[in-house]
Amino acid sequence: MSDTTPNTPVLEIRNLHKAYGDLEVLKGVSITAHKGDVVSLIGSSGSGKSTILRCANLLEDSQGGEILFEGEPVKWKGTGHNRQPADRKQVLRMRTNLSMVFQQFNLWAHMTILQNVMEAPVTVMGRPRDEVEDAARRYLDKVGIGDKCDVYPAQLSGGQQQRAAIARALCMEPRALLFDEPTSALDPELEQEVVRVIRALADEGRTMLIVTHDMRMANDVSDQIVFLHQGLIEEQGAPSDILTNPKSARLRQFLSATMA
C-alpha cells in the first residue's frame, strides 16, 4: 500500500474511459471519495453509472484513465481494449476493500444466510471461522435480520435478502462500500427497509458510492451527487445544489421526470 495522509482519498477515479467494442460508455469521468464521503451517482439508463462501480471494483477492465485506492494506483499492462490489471494480488486486495452490493442480491441459494455472510472472509481472506461468525452475526443484527441466520435466501423477502447482502459486504470490513441500484428490484415498502440501513451506514461515516434512482435517498444520505449523461459528468455538487438548483437543461429534464 502507498503511504497515505489524512487527505488521501479512499477512492479516486481520474479520466476513466470504458468502451464495449465501438460503444463508448465512459468518456473521461473523474470522481473522488474521501473517508466518510457518500457520493451518489444519478442519471438515466445507459449513462454509465453502474459501469463506473464495476470498473472501480475491477470487475470490468477500463481502457483509459486511472483508479487509485488510498493513493495507490492500479497497475496496468497493455493498452486500449487489451488493457488489464497487471497484479492479481493487488486486484484481490482492492476488491476486498471495496465491497460491492448488487441490485440482484447475488446470494448463494444453497447456503444459509449466515454461511453467505461468512463465505468470503473465510475462503478469500483466510480469517478464522470463529472470529468471522461473531462478526457475521453482529452485522446481521445491525441490518435487522439477526434472527434469520439459519434460513435460506429463498425464505426471505427481497428487502431481507438485500439486507443480508449488505451484511455480507460489511463482513469483509471494507474501506468503502459500492452500491449498485440497491433498491431498484424492491417494491416501495421493502425499499424503505434497505434505505434505513443505508442511512444508518451514512450516519456512521462510512465511505460509500451509491448508484441510485431514489432521489429522496440521494438527498438524505449524500455529501455529493454526480449526474451522468451519455458517459460524461454533466453536473456534480451538494444535494441542495443538484436537486433543487440544477444548472443544466438535461439535469432539469431528468429531475422533472424522476421526481414527478
pTM given for the model: 0.93
Kindly report, residue by residue over 208-244, the tens digit of the pLDDT. 999 999 999 999 999 999 999 999 999 999 999 999 9
Output the pLDDT for position 212: 95
Q: Which three cell numbers stand for residue 252?
A: 432539469
Lowest mean pLDDT among 36-50, 110-124, 184-198, 238-252: 184-198
Summarize the confidence of residues 16-37 as an average pLDDT: 96
- Provide the CA 189 distance to its chain's centre, in angstroms: 22
User: Which domains does the chain carry?
Assistant: 11-258 (3.40.50.300)
In terms of Cα–Cα distance, which of 26, 32, 152, 176 is closest to 101? 176
The answer to whether the beta carbons of residues 222 and 37 sit under 8 Å apart is no
* First-last CA distance in the chain: 46
Output the pLDDT for position 188: 85
The answer to whether the beta carbons of residues 15 and 217 sit under 8 Å apart is no
pLDDT at 2 over 70: no
DSSP symbol at 82: G
